[in-house]
């Protein structure tokens, strides 16, 4: 599988594996079902929520590497 990147759409990452949802939630993104998540990149959502995109992407990649 390819790496998760900041330009990926949140819904696309969740479609790969719903088990990634807690990573988003633990980083302060609680509205994964909102319409924005289906068209917003990880980087854009992080900017809106004041979250470190690099940290989130690192955690997501660690999750996918260890599944």
SS (H, E, C) the chain: CCCCCCCCEHHHHHHHCHHHHHHHHHCCCCCCCCHHHHCCEHHHHHHHHCCCHHHHHHHHHHHHHCC
Note the pLDDT of residue 30.
86
Domain ranges of the chain: 8-64
pTM for this predicted structure: 0.92
Convert the pLDDT of each residue in 22-67 to its tens digit.
Answer: 999 999 998 888 888 889 999 999 999 999 999 999 999 999 999 8
């Amino acid at each position: 599988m390819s790496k998760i990147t900041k330009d990926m759409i949140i819904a696309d990452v969740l479609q790969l594996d719903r088990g990634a949802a807690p990573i988003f939630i633990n980083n302060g993104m609680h509205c994964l079902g909102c319409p924005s998540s289906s068209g917003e990149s990880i980087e854009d959502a992080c900017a809106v929520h004041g979250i470190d995109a690099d940290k989130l992407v690192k955690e997501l990649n660690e999750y996918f590497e260890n599944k």
